[in-house]
Amino acid sequence: MAIQKVREALSSVLFGQEEVVDALLAAAASGGHVLLEGLPGLGKTLLARGFAAASGLSYRRIQFTPDLLPADVTGTEVWQDGRFEFRPGPLFAQVVLADEINRATPKTQSALLEAMEEGAVTAYGVRHALPQPFMVLATQNPIELEGTYPLPEAQVDRFMAKIEITAPKRAVWMRILSETPREPEAVAGPDDFLQLQEQTRAVRVASSALEAVVNLAQLASEEPRLRFGVSPRGAKAWLSLARGFATLTGRAYVEWNDLRASARPALVHRLFLTEEAQFEGVTQARVLEDLLAKALPK
């Protein structure tokens, strides 16, 4: 499978982060977008660039800064040969790296909404389709760092998965310091990913698994530590990501372990805590663990 070749290629890029790589590939197989979060220097941009190289997809990088304008992302019209002509922005690629997305203003962040939801950009009243497959890989620093703008809830919800990159273990530290990551060669292409996404959509989900997803959504809507529960789009994202994990292992059906593995990246960024819960030090991850313990079988 092409996805296994991409996985092997990424192992030479980001050392000791197998779970991160698997979550990224599961999202790619599901046709979703990914938000990579972690402190500076942990390899977020390196992973995104390595994925683009190994996947064989066209790639553009957008460095988000406070003075970036929406037209700098989507494109603009210029006067050419007596008429206005649309010049596509860097968003017109199959893999778009939105680097440090939360350093741009909310107005510029929102320029991605239509593209991520519909695979198209409307500029000056004209709709322009984006190349397929289309995937946004956004990196962000924790909001506690100076110079960041929290992503609007509608923007966060467009990401199928939020993947947290943590500091490496000691053994991996030694490898990082002694080896130089190499740029992977293309081991797949657009047709491989379109076929992979079609295969993932065909993965079967048992009625018991669907009931578990509904149970968690209902529990989240009644959870006093949350302002509101998981939306239908969030529940669908969880199922899609679980299908992606099943595809990674070569299965045509979703197992309970797929739902468990996909729950945190698919749901944790969709749980919005009340002010009281935040004051008490409650975390989104803790609430999700409690919900999963009630919704999924032991």
Q: Are residues 12 and 147 in the same domain?
A: yes
63-107: per-residue pLDDT in tens? Answer: 998 889 888 999 888 877 778 888 888 999 999 999 988 888 888
The CATH number of the domain where 256 resides is what?
1.10.8.80
Q: What is the DSSP string of 41-57?
A: TSSHHHHHHHHHHHHT-
Identify which of 90, 216, 65, 256 has the alpha carbon closest to the alpha carbon of residue 147: 65
Cβ atoms 20, 123 nearer than 8 A: no
Confidence class for position 145, pLDDT limits 50, 70, 90: low
> What residues make up the domain containing 32?
2-178
Q: Which residues contact 224 (CB under 8 A, 6 or more apart)?
A: 274
What is the mean predicted confidence (pLDDT) over 210-223?
94
pLDDT tens digits, one per residue of 101-126: 888 888 888 888 889 989 999 888 88
CB neighbours of residue 192 within 10 Å: 19
Output the average pLDDT for the chain: 88
Same domain for 156 and 228: no
Q: Are both 65 and 137 inside the same structural domain?
A: yes
Element (DSSP H or E) covering residue 237: helix 232-248
How many domains does the chain divide into? 2
Tens digits of per-residue pLDDT, 152-211?
Answer: 777 888 899 999 988 888 888 888 888 777 788 888 889 999 999 999 999 999 999 999
Instruction: Give the CATH number, domain containing residue 15.
Output: 3.40.50.300
Statement: residue 294 has pLDDT above 70: yes
DSSP assigned state of 184: P
| 187 inside domain | no
Bridge partner list, 140:
37
Closest CA to 267 of 244, 248, 292, 243: 292
The beta-strand segments (E) located in 102-149 are 120-123, 126-129, 135-140
Per the model's pLDDT, the better-predicted residue between 182 and 265 turns out to be 265
* pLDDT tens column, 246-259: 999 999 999 999 99
The pTM score is 0.90
Regarding whether 44 and 172 lie in a shared domain, the answer is: yes
Beta strand extents in the chain (DSSP E only): 34-37, 59-63, 75-80, 83-88, 95-99, 120-123, 126-129, 135-140, 161-164, 226-228, 272-273
3-7, 39-43, 255-259: which range is least confident on average?
39-43
Strands 95-99 and 135-140: parallel
